[in-house]
Amino acid sequence: MKIGIDARILGEPGGIGAYIENLVYNMMAKIHPQDEFVLFLKPKEFENKNFGASNTKKVLADVPIYSLSEQCRLKKIFEKEKLDILHVPHWNAPVFYKGKMVVTIHDLVPLDFVSTKRTKLSQWMREKYFYLMLKVLGRRAQKIIAISNLTRDDLINRIKIKPEKIEVIYSGIVSPKAYGETTKISKDEAREKVMKEFGIEEPYFFASGIWRTHKNLIGLINAFKKTLEQLPGNNTKLLIGGIADKSFPDVLNLFQKHKNDPNIIFLGMLNAEKQALLMRGALANILPSFTEGFGFFYLEALLSGGDLISSENVGAKEVAEGSVEFFDPKNNDELVQKMIEKMNNPETNRHQFILKNNISWSDTAERTYNIYSALSQCSQITRIKFNTF
């Protein structure tokens, strides 16, 4: 087979970049001699990445992400390679591409949360464009990979995609060794290391991510401030890792508004080892998102041996359980109550991290490759008719 993977988001921070990187490198480890992989890359990754496999080809695809040029110029770049299978690991696929196509859908966030940098009209148009793209891809793609049943159900219920066209393939855990290593030390030891590394002596809640509106950072900060109001004299801190996405000025404004708050500390981007240490020593880790198609933070917090307070709308809860308390992210009072309970009972830890499904990036790559293989033996290519929508 000649397999093409749209890897233009490779190297970008966030879940999709991690998905592409881990899928590609694990796919390379499973390369069959008769297969050829074609990776479509932006200029920076095209120059810097070396995949170390003789039957892997890099193709420059300097086409902006989420642009109309993906529907014309990118389509021509793909078709020039005469692929047997094209895999686009996000919803921004060229709908008029003539060959067989697999699309990964991570979540339906753009239907509900569009960049606040845009005008109201632009936001409305973006939502309509995303909805139309998903409807068309639901017909056009030969197979859609959903990263969780949460995403699968959204595609079926909101976009009306046929269930038989969707296959759920879970992601693995990014840097599992770094998070697993922290379980070898106690929480007290972790807190001592946090004090030396970050200068934090007080108990703390920890959250981290690429912060966008749907990550519900404003809800987290408001809930934290309410807990301090209800427990006067409490010295607990809120540590926030990661960065604000510049496409969301509402989130950037939160960083600016609270950057001098002595109780809220922004730590910036963290490597896996530092994040794991913070997770292990935390009073509780908090995942406040309105929705997460998967949610790496969920798995990382539990794997590190940390306690977790999590939004109930997280795909990763399908594959793992542990010391976790769920709340409705639309009900901020629930989060406040969970935080107060944890502050009053800091040593509660209900049960160990348990994987309910055997997930790994190796398994993700293998199951994805099996889809390629099955489709390559099928001669039918779906044609779309716009008058059916």
SS (H, E, C) 216-261: CHHHHHHHHHHHHHHCCCCCCEEEEEEEECCCCHHHHHHHHHHCCC
Question: 186-190, 218-222, 260-264, 376-380: lowest mean pLDDT where?
Answer: 376-380
Are the beta carbons of 216 and 222 closer than 8 angstroms? no
Question: 98-102, 298-302, 374-378: lowest mean pLDDT where?
Answer: 374-378
Q: pLDDT, tens digit, for every residue of 311-363?
A: 999 999 999 888 899 999 999 999 999 999 999 888 765 556 777 777 899 99
For the chain, report the end-to-end CA distance as a whole number of angstroms: 33
pLDDT (average), residues 260-274:
95
Are the beta carbons of 81 and 100 closer than 8 angstroms? no
CA 331 to chain centre: 23
pLDDT surpassing 50 at residue 276: yes
Q: pLDDT, tens digit, for every residue of 34-46?
A: 889 999 999 998 8
Q: Residue 86: helix, strand or coil by DSSP?
A: strand
d(Cα 79, Cα 83) in Å, to the nearest integer? 7
How much is the pLDDT for 388?
Answer: 39
Give the residue from 179, 147, 126 showing the smallest Cα distance to 299.
Answer: 179
Are the beta carbons of 293 and 148 closer than 8 angstroms? yes
How much is the pLDDT for 317?
Answer: 94
- Burial (Cβ within 10 Å: 0-12, 13-18, ≥19) of residue 244: buried
d(Cα 46, Cα 61) in Å, to the nearest integer? 9
pLDDT surpassing 80 at residue 277: yes
Interhelix angle 15-29/361-376, nearest 10 degrees: 70
| Residue 101 vs residues 68, 160, 166, 362: alpha-carbon distances, Å | 19, 19, 13, 22
d(Cα 120, Cα 136) in Å, to the nearest integer? 24
| pLDDT confidence bin for 133, thresholds 50/70/90 | confident
Our CA angle for 29, 103, 374, nearest 5°, is 65
pLDDT surpassing 70 at residue 253: yes
Strand 354-355 relative to strand 320-321, pairing? antiparallel
Q: Which domains does the chain have, with CATH numbers?
A: 2-172+360-388 (3.40.50.2000), 176-355 (3.40.50.2000)
| pLDDT confidence bin for 238, thresholds 50/70/90 | very high
Q: Residue 330: helix, strand or coil by DSSP?
A: coil
pLDDT (average), residues 94-111:
92
Q: pLDDT, tens digit, for every residue of 4-57?
A: 999 999 888 888 989 999 998 888 777 677 889 999 999 998 887 777 667 889
Encoded amino acid at 376, one letter = S
pLDDT (average), residues 110-119:
74
Other Cβ atoms within 10 Å of 79 Cβ, number: 16
How much is the pLDDT for 108?
Answer: 92
How much is the pLDDT for 218?
Answer: 94
How much is the pLDDT for 351?
Answer: 56
Our CA angle for 252, 134, 386, nearest 5°, is 135
How much is the pLDDT for 386?
Answer: 43
Provide the 8-state DSSP code for 112.
Answer: T
d(Cα 305, Cα 204) in Å, to the nearest integer? 15
Q: In the chain, where does DSSP find H-type helix?
A: 15-29, 43-48, 73-80, 120-140, 149-158, 176-181, 187-198, 217-230, 249-258, 272-281, 296-303, 332-344, 361-376
- 74: tokens are 């990118």
| pLDDT confidence bin for 141, thresholds 50/70/90 | very high
**100 vs 48, more confident:** 100
pLDDT (average), residues 219-224:
97
Provide the 8-state DSSP code for 163.
Answer: G
How much is the pLDDT for 389?
Answer: 36
Are the beta carbons of 95 and 136 closer than 8 angstroms? yes
Size of the chain, expressed as the number of residues it contains: 389
How much is the pLDDT for 118?
Answer: 65
Give 73's strand partners: none
| pLDDT confidence bin for 381, thresholds 50/70/90 | low
pLDDT (average), residues 276-280:
96
pLDDT (average), residues 235-240:
96
How much is the pLDDT for 377?
Answer: 84
DSSP 10-69: TT-SSHHHHHHHHHHHHHHHT--TT-EEEEEE-HHHHHH-----TTEEEEE----TTSGG
- 112: tokens are 């509900």
**358 vs 213, more confident:** 213
How much is the pLDDT for 378?
Answer: 77
Average pLDDT score, the chain: 89
pLDDT (average), residues 180-191:
92
pLDDT (average), residues 144-169:
96
- 265: tokens are 């500390």
| pLDDT confidence bin for 387, thresholds 50/70/90 | very low
